């Protein structure tokens, strides 16, 4: 039951910031769904709600970029120590640093999305979930067709 409560939050995670290009607006997953978009209209977001969500995003974005860059640096360092066949304790310590950096990024990102979710009414959250599920089905159908 507890996992279901966070499903809408997880869906927002997928739509606001792409995991691999965190805090960057360069893919369709990185679009600002709360701005001028058909999705905003479908949810019935007011200008006030859109502004509040944008403010949450903008206030968090610099920290997200910092944390993402730090996680990328730690990941690169991990690759180096693994490629150099360093002692297991060195590799283990670098894994810890890498995972801590990822965790800090993901925690900040999730809290941002939680704050955004709080701006939505319960009805808007339900619509968000449905629209996102439809979008995911269409995306998987399209990507499945491309593999043939």
Q: Is residue 124 within 8 Å of residue 42, measured between CB atoms?
A: no
Measured CA to CA in angstroms, residue 77 lies from 3, 7, 57, 70, 145 at distances of 34, 34, 29, 11, 38
Please check whether residue 29 lies inside any domain of the structure: no
Residue 124 within a domain: yes
Answer yes or no: is 17 within a domain: no
Structurally, the chain folds into a number of domains equal to 1
Q: Would residue 146 count as lying in a domain?
A: no
Q: Model pTM? A: 0.73
Instruction: Please give the pLDDT value at position 38.
Output: 81
Comparing 41 with 97, which gets the higher pLDDT? 97
pLDDT at 45 over 60: yes
102-112 mean pLDDT: 97
Mean pLDDT confidence for 36-49 = 89
CATH of the domain at 74: 1.20.120.1490
Residue 91, domain extent = 46-139
């Amino acid at each position: 039951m507890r996992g279901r409560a966070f499903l809408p939050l997880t869906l927002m995670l997928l739509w606001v910031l792409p995991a691999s290009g965190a805090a960057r607006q360069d893919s369709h997953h990185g679009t600002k769904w709360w701005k001028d978009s058909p999705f905003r209209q479908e949810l019935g977001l007011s200008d006030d709600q859109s502004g509040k969500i944008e403010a949450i995003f903008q206030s968090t974005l610099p920290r997200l970029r910092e944390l993402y860059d730090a996680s990328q640096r730690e990941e690169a360092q991990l690759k180096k120590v693994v490629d150099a066949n360093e002692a297991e304790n060195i590799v283990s310590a670098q894994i810890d640093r890498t995972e801590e950096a990822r965790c800090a990024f993901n925690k900040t990102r999730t809290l941002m999305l939680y704050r955004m979710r709080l701006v939505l009414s319960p009805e808007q959250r339900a619509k968000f979930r449905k629209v996102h599920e439809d979008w995911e089905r269409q995306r998987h159908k399209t990507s499945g067709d491309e593999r043939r």
